[in-house]
Chain A
């Protein structure tokens, strides 16, 4: 992979404007880019765009023999591909650190969190199970691939329907979509990743763009040694349970950052999951009315002039927006919401369904509680 080379002046400029309370594209610190989900003609295919980052996801299934140790569970396989189409620095058909990293994160988020009922994918124990394969293809890379890829994975998994199967004695019949209605995948919960870029060890920036990502992870960020940053990925489901935490870059020596990130991720993930569910329902309704849906809709309805970008990569905070919020107020608001949100944590935790897995996560959420207490001390 050819490395993207950022000049020193870009790095120092980004560092400076962020410490002054601005962002290059005029967003607030905790503001995300526009999220858009569109489904393709088949079940389980979708394109998710987060600003200019675009990811295509396709779920497919086949009947395979189960693993020896888990004879009654289906298999979930996630495959991430980044081609030169995403950005010129990538090479075709070559695994890079980034693809491995993305793959692993998505596996952690969707496989290890056990959000999919793999047992329901079983057809004949020890002989035949469904294997779901999620293919993630990055169409355009403008930062925050993880969040976009995780939304794409979730949306396509939730949208996917596998063919129905009937067993008669030894025979297994797989019905076509016209013979019998296909069965949707069972999801226990909907985990979504959200990314935060950490600047100067205390500024959290949600949904970083490509340049912000590369500046905060670059090691020689400044002549002064104390400035360091990194990328923090928080995976959460709609019940505000933590599924994944991952940090790249410099170590954090202030636990309140993680605390703040988790609190802000909780609301964000909830709204993303709501959006995913809403779009799937409206898509289902359209399909029931036999409306043809395909990716062509993106071009005809939204992007007539795909080149005339509405959101500029460099933008003033109030450009074509009337309301005025000074950056200082923004930071203040963040702190307040931290304090207010804490009690709501207590509410959410006990109201959960009482499965064994979720109890483990309960422990994880008490950890947040403890850390906040110790901080106050």
Chain B
């Protein structure tokens, strides 16, 4: 079926608008789109989106993570194997994290990472045929915000929710940060790490994040107020 931008797309549909633009200029087609012969076909169910000038993708609901280069992810160390750690990132296979890719790590000075620790890391290599590789430093050798996350709680959610709360225009974290102090790290692989002063506050952050999935901006704000009220009512 022929569809246009903003429509709900199903696998097998095609979009002629993209081809028309492609004749004049270069077009970037993102996830869920595939060029086959002279048409652009949709391969995932979702909403066809466009970003000016000419980037197209399908916004689909997904829980399975497919590694891609440069994304910040949250993983769990599952194994120490010689000089690398194997990290479960929720993909089809585990990712490798070298012990040298921590800030200030040398052969003598190994970082303290235990099996079962949660790490916030960047995808360095993500190709179809190779094991993904992670690093916990940036190109200057500084750790920034990456590294092992201690305490707190990790939970899984859909990839869409991560993109939603990381969107600068999303009011969720804006309105939550005024209510009570907490830390949050969102990995593009559908995992969120949260930490607050008390257990109840940590649960409240998780509740707010998961609750925001199907709400619009206004509803998110009222939900945040509600949660803050519940929390305050119990603490005092």
Contacts and interface: CB of A to CB of B under 8 A. Distances in A.
Contacts of B193: 9
A373 interface: no
A316 B151 contact: no
Interface string A1-23: 00001111111110011001010
A315 B207 contact: yes
A307 B203 contact: no
Contacts of B88: 5
A336 to B, nearest CB: 24
Contact of A7 (B116, B207, B234): B116
Contact of A316 (B78, B150, B207, B214): B207
A288 interface: no
Interface stretch (B42-50, B138-146, B152-160, B172-180): B152-160
A253 to B, nearest CB: 27
A314 B152 contact: no
Contact of A22 (B199, B211, B227): B199
B204 interface: yes
A314 B61 contact: no
Contacts of A312: 207, 210-211
Contacts of B72: none
B68 to A, nearest CB: 20
Given A314-B155, A319-B227, A319-B230, A7 B203 contact: no
A220 B130 CA distance: 33
Interface string A284-328: 000000000000000000000101100011111011100010000
A257 interface: no
B155 to A, nearest CB: 6
Interface residues of B, number: 34
A22 B203 contact: yes
B189 interface: no
A307 B160 CA distance: 12
A20 B230 CA distance: 18
B200 A314 contact: no
A10 B154 contact: yes
A8 B207 contact: no
Given A7-B118, A8-B116, A316 B210 contact: no
B227 A316 contact: yes
Contact of B230 (A307, A314, A318): A318
Contacts of A11: 116
A7 B231 contact: no
Given A5-B88, A312-B210, A10 B231 contact: no
Contact of B200 (A5, A307, A316): A316
Contacts of B76: 5-7
Given A5-B76, A9-B193, A10-B153, 6 more contacts: A6-B116, A13-B199, A313-B210, A318-B234, A319-B226, A324-B233
5 contacts: A5-B116, A17-B199, A315-B207, A316-B204, A319-B230
